[in-house]
Amino acid sequence: MTQDMPDGHRRPPAVGSALRRAPVAGGISHRRTAGPRREVLVACVAVALLVPLSLPAASGAQTREEVELAAYGSASDAVPEVLEQDGTSTDARAEVRKLLAAQETRREREKEEAERAAEEKREAERAAEEAEQVEAAEKEAERAEQADSGPSFVRPADGRFTSGFGARWGSHHSGIDIANSIGTPIVSVTGGTVVEAGPASGFGLWVKVRHDDGTVTVYGHMDRILVGAGQRVGAGEQIATIGNRGHSTGPHLHFEVWQGGQTPIDPVGWLAERGVSVR
* pLDDT tens-digit readout, 188-232: 999 999 999 999 999 999 999 999 999 999 999 999 999 999 999
pLDDT higher at 45 or 128:
128
- Work out the angle between the directed axes of helices 31-54 and 64-72 (0-180°, nearest 10): 100
The whole-number pLDDT of residue 147 equals: 57
The CA–CA distances, whole Å, from 158 to 27, 124, 162 equal 145, 44, 12
pTM: 0.49
The CA–CA distances, whole Å, from 151 to 146, 163, 191, 258, 263 equal 9, 26, 10, 21, 26
Confidence of residue 38 (pLDDT cuts 50, 70, 90): low
| Percent of the chain scoring above 70 in pLDDT | 66
Would you say residue 36 has pLDDT above 80? Answer: no
The whole-number pLDDT of residue 148 equals: 60
109-165 tens-digit pLDDT: 999 999 999 999 999 999 999 999 999 888 878 766 665 666 799 999 999 999 999
DSSP state of 159: S
State which CATH number among 1.20.1530.20, 3.40.50.150, 2.70.70.10, 2.60.40.1240 fits the domain covering 160-273: 2.70.70.10
DSSP letters, 165-176, are SEEETTEEE-SE
Q: Are 253 and 221 in contact (CB under 8 A)?
A: yes
Closest CA to 179 of 259, 253, 93, 92: 253
Distance CA 174, CA 263 (A): 10
**Taking residues 57-69, what's their average pLDDT?**
51
